Every structure is written in structure tokens, then in C-alpha cells.
């Protein structure tokens, strides 16, 4: 996997080589207890490193949930830095689940923290929020393009509180169909338009987050045709513990299933440190057989 390639190209390679399963590195307090680890910076680091060991060679993508490290302060961030470094050295693509969003120099600093080569927190991609408009993310978009990194923009999330906003219809925008276009659909359209300005690759480098437990039609999202000539990466939480069934992936995502990344954490992490590698291997095989 060439480190000089775009994120989209490296994502394509990872999926071809290891399948579309992405395991979340989510050291919940109850999981730390079940694993016999302390609820401390040391505990989350040991948890993260064990997940890396279990995933390396079995899947191609991991997604640390930064909040579980952040709650332990600076020591938690130091632990996260070591977990990220171990994952990248193991050849895994690392998506930082940070959901950052702001504007101007503030959001640029977020982008530098996670996407700038040489940063202690450097990852391959990060999740971002476009609540202030995709244009507010110009700096992270530029950094991602410059450094071969990726972004996943929240579009339709599975928490029920989000529906009222994400299903809302735009009053005005640059889109010709603004008065019939939902916020969620507009984000997808804006991401697709940005990707079309970038060098062509099988996979685009900027994707979206679409929850697997949703009826995407209720969010005004058309899944009948691909979003563009290159494949739109779709980070899909909700399979496994949250109840979405892998067998329903094609029905849920339609043509967007080509770019699907199946994100699971508790469903496999609950196997514990001794059963984790086997659980990941089995789930990865199920994802590959279902999605191809």
C-alpha cells in the first residue's frame, strides 16, 4: 500500500486486500472492566494495543473513538498517540473518530492536529461535522488533498435527535433543487462536488457518514444511482451491536454500497481479549462474503 497515494487509493487497496470491515477502538469503561483493565490512561492504552494486535493482518481499517481516550486528559492523549502509531506501523488505515467542526483558523488547527504529516496524532482520515456548512471545512479539505488524507463528513447519523435537522429541507442554497433538498442530501451533494475537483481515483478521498439503522429515503437520500464516477466512501456505523443486519446492506445503501465501510466496535470487542482475534476474523469473512 503506497503511502504516497491518495487516501481513496489506499482505502481501495485496503478493502481489496482485507475487506470492508472497520473495527472501532472504543475502550468503554464497562469493556475495560470486562477485559480486566483499569479505567485509566494505562488501561485504554493496553486496550487499544490489544485491538491493534488482533486486527493486524485480519482487516485493513481501525477507527479509534477519541472521546474514550480524551476523558483521561493529557495521559489519555499520550496513550492514543501510541495506539495510533502502533496501528499505522502495522499497516492499518486509521480513521480518527473526532467529529471536529469549526471555521477559519480553528478548524484548520484541528486539521493540522490529525492530518498533518509528522503530527503526534497523525492519522489517515478523520470524521468532521459540516453543521456550519461544508465551506467551513475548506482548510481540512485542503490539508487532506495536499497530504493524501481523507475526511468523513457527518450526513445522516443514527441518533434520533439528529433527524429533525438532517431531514430538514433547505430554504436556499447553491443547489438548484434547494427547496426540495434535505440537509443530509445537500452534504452528500457538496462532498461529491468537491471530489469531482480532485484527481480521479477508484475511491474518492472524502466520504460521508450514513447510519445503517436509518431509512435513508426519510433523509431525502437517493440510493438508486451512484453519487459520481468515482466511488463515494460511506462510513456506516450501526451494524452489529446497534442492530443493523449485514444481510440488509444492499437494501439500505443501494448503489452506495460500493463504497461501504462496515464499522463495528462493541459487537466484536465484547469477545474479550482472548476471543477478539477470532471474532474479528470471523466477522471480516462475513463482511467479505456479503459485500464481495
Residues taking part in catalysis: 99
Q: Could you give the angle at the alpha carbon of 129 between the alpha carbons of 232 and 6, nearest 5°?
A: 40
Total residues found in the chain within this entry: 292
CA dist 122 → 89, 113, 135, 162, 246 (Å)? 12, 7, 23, 29, 31
Show me where the domains of the chain are located. Answer: 7-291
Kindly report, residue by residue over 45-92, the tens digit of the pLDDT: 999 999 999 999 999 999 999 999 999 999 999 999 999 999 999 999
For residue 241, give the nearest of 53, 20, 28 by alpha carbon.
28
| CATH code given to domain 7-291 | 3.20.20.70
Query: Quick count: other Cβ atoms within 10 Å of Cβ 89?
Result: 10
Kindly report, residue by residue over 203-245, the tens digit of the pLDDT: 999 999 999 999 999 999 989 876 566 899 999 998 977 778 9
Amino acid at each position: 500500500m503506497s503511502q504516497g497515494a491518495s487516501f481513496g487509493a489506499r482505502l481501495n487497496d485496503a478493502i481489496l486486500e482485507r475487506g470492508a470491515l472497520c473495527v472501532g477502538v472504543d475502550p468503554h469503561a464497562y469493556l475495560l472492566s470486562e477485559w480486566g483493565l483499569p479505567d485509566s490512561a494505562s488501561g485504554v492504552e493496553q486496550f487499544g494495543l490489544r485491538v491493534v494486535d488482533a486486527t493486524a493482518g485480519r482487516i485493513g481499517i481501525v477507527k479509534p473513538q477519541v472521546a474514550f481516550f480524551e476523558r483521561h486528559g493529557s495521559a489519555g492523549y499520550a496513550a492514543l498517540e501510541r495506539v495510533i502509531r502502533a496501528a499505522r506501523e502495522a499497516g492499518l488505515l486509521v480513521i480518527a473518530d473526532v467529529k471536529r467542526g469549526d471555521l477559519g483558523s480553528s478548524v484548520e488547527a484541528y486539521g493540522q492536529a490529525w492530518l498533518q504529516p509528522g503530527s503526534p496524532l497523525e492519522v489517515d482520515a478523520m470524521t468532521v461535522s459540516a453543521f456550519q456548512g461544508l465551506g467551513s471545512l475548506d482548510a481540512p479539505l485542503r490539508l487532506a488533498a495536499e497530504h493524501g488524507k481523507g475526511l468523513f463528513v457527518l450526513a445522516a447519523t443514527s441518533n434520533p435527535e439528529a433527524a429533525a435537522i438532517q431531514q430538514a429541507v433547505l430554504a436556499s442554497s447553491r443547489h438548484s433543487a434547494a427547496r426540495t433538498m434535505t440537509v443530509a442530501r445537500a452534504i452528500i451533494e457538496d462532498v461529491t462536488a468537491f471530489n469531482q475537483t480532485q484527481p480521479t481515483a477508484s475511491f474518492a478521498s472524502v466520504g460521508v457518514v450514513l447510519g445503517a439503522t436509518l431509512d435513508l429515503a426519510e433523509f431525502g437520500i437517493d440510493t438508486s444511482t451512484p453519487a459520481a464516477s468515482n466511488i463515494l466512501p460511506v462510513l456506516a456505523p450501526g451494524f452489529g451491536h446497534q442492530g443493523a443486519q449485514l444481510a440488509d446492506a444492499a437494501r439500505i445503501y443501494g448503489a452506495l454500497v460500493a463504497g461501504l465501510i462496515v464499522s463495528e466496535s462493541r459487537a466484536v470487542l465484547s469477545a474479550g481479549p482472548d476471543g477478539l482475534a477470532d471474532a474479528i476474523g470471523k466477522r471480516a469473512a462475513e463482511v467479505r462474503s456479503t459485500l464481495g
